[in-house]
Amino acid sequence: MDITLQRVGYTYAAGTPFQKQALHDVDVRIPDGSYTAVIGHTGSGKSTLLQHLNALLKPTEGTVRVGDTVITKETKGKQLRSVRRKVGIVFQFPEHQLFEETVLKDVMFGPLNFGIPEAEAAARAEELLGLLGLPEGTAEKSPFDLSGGQMRRVAIAGVLAMDPDVLVLDEPTAGLDPSGRREIMDLFHRLHEERDMTTILVTHSMEDAARYADHVIVMHDGTDVLEGPPEDVFGDAGRLARWRLEVPRTVAFQREFERGAGLPEGPPCLTEEQLADYLAGAVKKGGGAR
Amino acid sequence: MMEKMVFGRYIPGDSFVHRLDPRTKLIFVFIFIAAVFLANSTASYALLLGFTLFAIIVSKVRIGFLIGGLKPVIFLIAFTFLLHIFFTKQGDLLFEFGFIKVYEEGLRQGIYISVRFLVLVLMTSLLTLTTSPISITDGLEVLLGPLKKIRFPVHELALMMSISLRFIPTLMDETDKILKAQLARGSDISSGTMKERVKAVVPLLVPLFVSAFKRAEDLAVAMEVRGYRGGEGRTRYRQLKWDWRDTTALLILLLLIAGLWLLRR
């Protein structure tokens, strides 16, 4: 399901002394089946943009197209529910949305709201709890008895249980320990590939964007300034610095290495694996010169 | 979604009214409320109305904002106005329409009461619109100071007030966030039967309470590590200063009262 934003603008509290323009002239296209990363410094409009993707905010200017639903400022509430069913959002610190008596019930909340029969919702929930690596027996516990990391996984399961076509992730690993972080990000990537789920990741981590995404959107001061494959976006450190962003650490290291070794700048290495291959190649080639 | 809340909203500014000491403003509004009841003639009500408009102009608050704040009381004003029109039967008969008879005195009293309401609401709104909640609390703490003599916990009360005021916006943001998260999971508060709607509030309230309690605990710990021991011997970061503006404001108030007294019937 393609998502297209055309000349989208959003102003908070329009017409009051507190009015604030958060987005203007946003033109982006998120292709069906892509893994899109949205990057930008704090206050660049990433979070506002993300709330437009399932109509939690309606644009005050322009149009948002999700599949064949068109959302403008006039769109009424009823039409929005079908969009919300197709687009699942994992918000920052999603564990704050837990409320049910048991983990199982909480995960079933979304599917039941969208009219999925109880037995099926329960089966889905059980399956997802396993998939997210929660220990046996968690389903019957109260979500408030779990550890922070486990709560996070339960909340993520609650969004995945709606089986959305598009999954929007807002800093899904903020505050998790490094191994948990990697595990969850790998899981999202697997789901993206196995279920052909269009994935949109809003993140501060250039490393995550470089590793997982195949399409990157750069936001700056409330509008999109660059859109393209990660090789393009992360190749040029000078350009990213203008938007107060940095290249991923692998690329920073690579550039440092190239400068030291007197090599020309090659295509950016987006993951540790690529960087290792690149270095091994360079060592083999230049081995004789030493 | 919570953008439209006007309750207790403060609009920062730099007008004469904004720069008044909160104590002055509190005393001013308090005495003004009492003084409103002095008025009993057309001239005195006109003076009250004129004075209120003058205060609004001096405060430089956008008139549209004040009118927005009037909406909740407009019904009350209209209701009392109609009561007087229909039930006061004194003076000359102005006109008759079927069983409805409107007398001169009824119309007069209706207008008087409406003006009285309007003036009261406008003045108190002006107080909250031009004074930050924190200054109001500071002012109250000082003004209630004498009650400490009878062991009334003035400082604690003021602290509770400022903490609650401080956390209103935070809780609003929190509500907004949780509401959006649950909307994204298909919860629906704005449609369905009454029972369904009440049920839809639970997913909102439970997380809100959980986080409010967590926040309260964090705050208590943070206060304790910084050695908070209550109000005894505590110095203030925000000092209240009385200057010529405050004296002027209170003199103007005296003039107003004198004027009202003279214009009484």
The tens digit of pLDDT for each residue in A208-228 reads 999 999 999 999 999 999 999
How many domains does chain A contain in total? 1
**Structure tokens, B134:** 């924190």
- Residue B2 is assigned to a structural domain of this protein: no
Structure confidence at residue B3 (pLDDT): 46
Token pair 């959302």 in the structure block, residue: A71
Can you tell me the mean pLDDT for B161-183? 87
- Residue B131 is assigned to a structural domain of this protein: yes
Which residues from A are below 8 Å from B178, CB to CB?
96-97
Structure confidence at residue A287 (pLDDT): 59
- Residue B32 is assigned to a structural domain of this protein: yes
Residue A19: pLDDT over 90: no
Can you tell me the mean pLDDT for B123-145? 87
- Residue B4 is assigned to a structural domain of this protein: no
Q: Taking Cα atoms as reference points, which of A94, A66, A93 lies closest to residue A81?
A: A66
Closest CA of chain A from B29, distance in Å: 25
- Residue A149 is assigned to a structural domain of this protein: yes
If asked whether residues B35 and B132 sit together in one domain, one would say yes
Half-sphere exposure of B54 (CA within 13 A, CB side): 10
Helix B133-144 × helix B104-130 angle, to 10°? 100
Token pair 């709890």 in the structure block, residue: A129
Can you tell me the mean pLDDT for B207-229? 91
The tens digit of pLDDT for each residue in B101-119 reads 788 888 888 888 899 989 9
The tens digit of pLDDT for each residue in A59-75 reads 999 999 998 889 988 88
If asked whether residues B116 and B215 sit together in one domain, one would say no
- Residue A287 is assigned to a structural domain of this protein: no
If asked whether residues B191 and B250 sit together in one domain, one would say no
**Option in B11, B185, B206 nearest A113 (CB):** B185
If asked whether residues B130 and B190 sit together in one domain, one would say no
Q: What is the 3-state secondary structure (H, E, C) of B49-98?
A: HHHHHHHHHHHCCCHHHHHHHHHHHHHHHHHHHHHHHHHCCCCCEEEEEC
- Compare all CA atoms of chain B with the CA of A83 and give the residue at the minimum distance: B184
B186 at interface of A, judged by CB pairs closer than 8 A:
yes
Other beta carbons within 10 angstroms of residue B156's beta carbon come to 11
The tens digit of pLDDT for each residue in A130-181 reads 988 899 888 899 999 998 889 999 999 999 999 999 999 999 988 888 888 8
Structure confidence at residue B165 (pLDDT): 79
If asked whether residues B131 and B51 sit together in one domain, one would say yes
Asked whether the beta carbons of A98 and A143 are under 8 A apart, the reply is yes
- Rounded CA gap, A209 and A253, in Å? 17
A-B Cβ pairs (cutoff 8 Å, strict): 65
- Residue B78 is assigned to a structural domain of this protein: yes
Structure confidence at residue B137 (pLDDT): 86
If asked whether residues B103 and B30 sit together in one domain, one would say yes
How many domains does chain B contain in total? 2
Residue A257: pLDDT over 70: yes
| CATH code for position A14 | 3.40.50.300
B191 at interface of A, judged by CB pairs closer than 8 A:
yes
Domain range spanning residue A226? 3-247
- Residue A51 is assigned to a structural domain of this protein: yes
If asked whether residues B110 and B67 sit together in one domain, one would say yes
Token pair 């690149």 in the structure block, residue: A278
- Residue A168 is assigned to a structural domain of this protein: yes
What's the mean per-residue pLDDT of chain A? Answer: 90
- Rounded CA gap, A283 and A290, in Å? 10
Phi-psi region of B44 (alpha: psi -120 to 50; beta: other; left: phi over 0): alpha
Q: Taking Cα atoms as reference points, which of A156, A150, A91 lies closest to residue A128?
A: A156
H/E element, B33: helix B22-36
Contacts of B240 (CB under 8 A, 6+ apart): B21, B22, B23, B138, B139, B142
Q: Do B178 and A96 touch (CB under 8 A)?
A: yes
If asked whether residues B139 and B159 sit together in one domain, one would say no
**Structure tokens, A76:** 């009424």
Q: Do B211 and A99 touch (CB under 8 A)?
A: no
**Option in B62, B180, B207 nearest A99 (CB):** B207
Closest CA of chain B from A96, distance in Å: 6
**Option in A51, A110, A144 nearest B185 (CB):** A110
- Residue A163 is assigned to a structural domain of this protein: yes
- Residue B1 is assigned to a structural domain of this protein: no
pLDDT band at A259 (very low <50, low <70, confident <90, very high): very high
If asked whether residues B254 and B165 sit together in one domain, one would say no
If asked whether residues B35 and B137 sit together in one domain, one would say yes
The tens digit of pLDDT for each residue in B12-44 reads 888 888 888 999 999 999 999 999 988 888 889
- Residue B65 is assigned to a structural domain of this protein: yes
Q: Do A91 and B3 touch (CB under 8 A)?
A: no
If asked whether residues B124 and B43 sit together in one domain, one would say yes
Q: Taking Cα atoms as reference points, which of A249, A251, A250, A219 lies closest to residue A235?
A: A251
The tens digit of pLDDT for each residue in A71-102 reads 988 887 777 888 888 999 999 999 989 999 99
Q: Do A13 and B3 touch (CB under 8 A)?
A: yes
If asked whether residues B161 and B45 sit together in one domain, one would say no
Domain range spanning residue B60? 22-144+245-263
Angle, CA A36 vertex, CA A35 and CA A37 arms, to 5°: 125
- Residue A230 is assigned to a structural domain of this protein: yes
B62 at interface of A, judged by CB pairs closer than 8 A:
yes
Can you tell me the mean pLDDT for A16-21? 78
ipTM of the complex: 0.86
- Residue A258 is assigned to a structural domain of this protein: no
Residue B195: pLDDT over 90: no
B184 at interface of A, judged by CB pairs closer than 8 A:
yes
How far does Cα A93 stand from its chain's mean position? 13
Structure confidence at residue B8 (pLDDT): 59
- Compare all CA atoms of chain B with the CA of A76 and give the residue at the minimum distance: B190
Which residues from B are below 8 Å from A16, CB to CB?
3, 65
Can you tell me the mean pLDDT for B54-77? 83
- Residue A21 is assigned to a structural domain of this protein: yes
**Option in A16, A18, A113 nearest B186 (CB):** A113
- Residue B52 is assigned to a structural domain of this protein: yes
Q: Do B181 and A96 touch (CB under 8 A)?
A: yes
